[in-house]
Amino acid sequence: MYYKLITFGCQMNISDSERIASVLKKMKYQPTLDESKADLILINSCSVRQKAIDRIFGQEKKWQKLKKEKPSLIIALTGCITEKDKKKLKDKADLIFNIKELSELPKKIVNMQQYVETQQCLVSTDYFHIKPQYSNKTIAYVPIMTGCDNFCSYCVVPYTRGREIYRPIEKIICEIKNLVKRGYKEIILLGQNVNSYQLTINNQQSTIISFPQLLKMIAEIPGKFQITFLTSHPKDMSDELIDTMAKCEKIKKELHLPVQSGDDEILKKMNRNYIVDHYLKLVQKVREKIGKIFLSTDIIVGFPGETKKQFENTVKLCKKIKFNKAFISQYSPRPGTVSAKLKDNISKEEKKRRWEILNDLINS
């Protein structure tokens, strides 16, 4: 049996796909790039950006044609998908499941095709227990949390992945130790908001382990490897974290710090819980303490009500900070979010124009 795994979305989706691949391997599936050869096409997608959902609709006719040629073919869908998008995609897939139910995937396929060998697969309520089939031989994604408590007005993550849940420290350390023994040179810690990681250890004093403390514990693992992490929220970027990055040699001097906008009013509408001045001071502190650092960010252009002057404030911020890299998105309303209730009053042409200005600026 063969499977084709298609991933749309962020690094967390890529990491989830590695676990999906591991489950499918236990089910005796083999990967293939040839969709006509596949018995299962599994799409791990994301409602955070409309583009990822549009790509599913763009492939639908081809997949339905394949199903006519091979009726036993299963089209499955998972990932960060809103309930509204699930309803839209209901007729496009044979199976739609929550990524948190990944360990139950064998059972779901058994119900559809009665594959006896799938009965041997692990069933667990915590899909992070599933050992991933890593797609890279030197770089590995290691999730330390899932979900988000921030409820940015444009984002579906709190609705698709739920509130923040942190992986136990011993599980994280164990996974990384095994990776280092196998020769992995870069460990990328993943989470929707890694620097909010906070785990209480129930000892005599109920010790709270913060993200910087977790980084120090990982850095103490013997071996030659580097640590990076995605993604950080400016409101949670603490002095302790900056000091840890500066002092720890194993932590790569890279920081992805999404700003989203360079205008205070737009940031307030986005529910980002910081102002531009805070962000600028944060970057200044990072560069003073860490020195030369590769700084990347996320920016949304064309947010509802964003005036040309407010967009120019974002341009000014980018000129001032000189990001090494920026992931720039044209705003699209996500069903179920607060901003979806606002009038999307910036034209597609104007969004594209603003995107091009920022893209050219960052590239220069």
* pLDDT in the model for residue 206: 62
Q: Is the pLDDT of residue 152 over 90?
A: yes
CA angle in degrees (0–180, nearest 5) for 251-255-222:
15
Least confident of 30-34, 118-122, 246-250: 118-122
Comparing CA positions, the residue from 241, 245, 243, 224 lying closest to residue 233 is: 241
Least confident of 241-250, 277-286, 330-339, 352-361: 330-339
* pLDDT in the model for residue 202: 64
* pLDDT in the model for residue 118: 35
For the chain, list the domains and their CATH numbers: 2-120 (3.40.50.2300), 135-363 (3.80.30.20)
> Residues of the chain with pLDDT > 70: what percent?
95
Q: What is the average pLDDT across 341-364?
A: 95
* pLDDT in the model for residue 120: 33
Q: Is the pLDDT of residue 324 over 80?
A: yes
Q: What DSSP state is assigned to residue 10?
A: S
Tell me the pLDDT tens digit for each residue of 176-211.
999 999 999 999 999 999 999 998 776 555 678 999
* pLDDT in the model for residue 81: 87
* pLDDT in the model for residue 207: 76
* pLDDT in the model for residue 204: 58
Contact 285, 242 (CB under 8 A): yes
3-state secondary structure of 179: helix
The span from the CA of 241 to the CA of 232, in Å, is 11
353 Cβ contact list (under 8 Å, min separation 6): none
Place of tokens 């044979």: 94
Q: Is the pLDDT of residue 279 over 50?
A: yes
* pLDDT in the model for residue 70: 81
Q: Is the pLDDT of residue 113 over 70?
A: no
**In terms of DSSP bridges, do strands 207-210 and 198-201 run parallel, antiparallel, or are they unpaired?**
antiparallel
* pTM attached to this predicted model: 0.75
The span from the CA of 19 to the CA of 103, in Å, is 9
Q: Is the pLDDT of residue 100 over 70?
A: yes
Kindly tell me the burial class for residue 161, based on how many C-beta atoms sit within 10 Å of its own C-beta (0-12, 13-18, 19 or more).
buried
- Backbone dihedral angles phi then psi of residue 44, each to the nearest 5 degrees: -105, 100
* pLDDT in the model for residue 119: 34
Q: Is the pLDDT of residue 117 over 80?
A: no
Q: Is the pLDDT of residue 303 over 90?
A: yes
CA angle in degrees (0–180, nearest 5) for 131-104-58:
90
The span from the CA of 136 to the CA of 203, in Å, is 38
Q: Which amino acid is at 173?
A: I
Cα–chain center distance at 328: 15
Contact 241, 212 (CB under 8 A): yes
3-state secondary structure of 208: strand
* pLDDT in the model for residue 51: 82
The span from the CA of 300 to the CA of 258, in Å, is 10
Comparing CA positions, the residue from 350, 346, 358 lying closest to residue 313 is: 358
Contact 223, 140 (CB under 8 A): no
List the beta strands (DSSP E) in 211-318. Answer: 226-230, 254-256, 294-301
Q: What is the average pLDDT across 277-283?
A: 97
* pLDDT in the model for residue 87: 87
Task: Report CA torsion sign: 136, 231, 187, 145.
Answer: negative
The span from the CA of 242 to the CA of 36, in Å, is 50
190: enclosing H helix or E strand: strand 186-190
* pLDDT in the model for residue 359: 95
> Residues of the chain with pLDDT > 90: what percent?
65
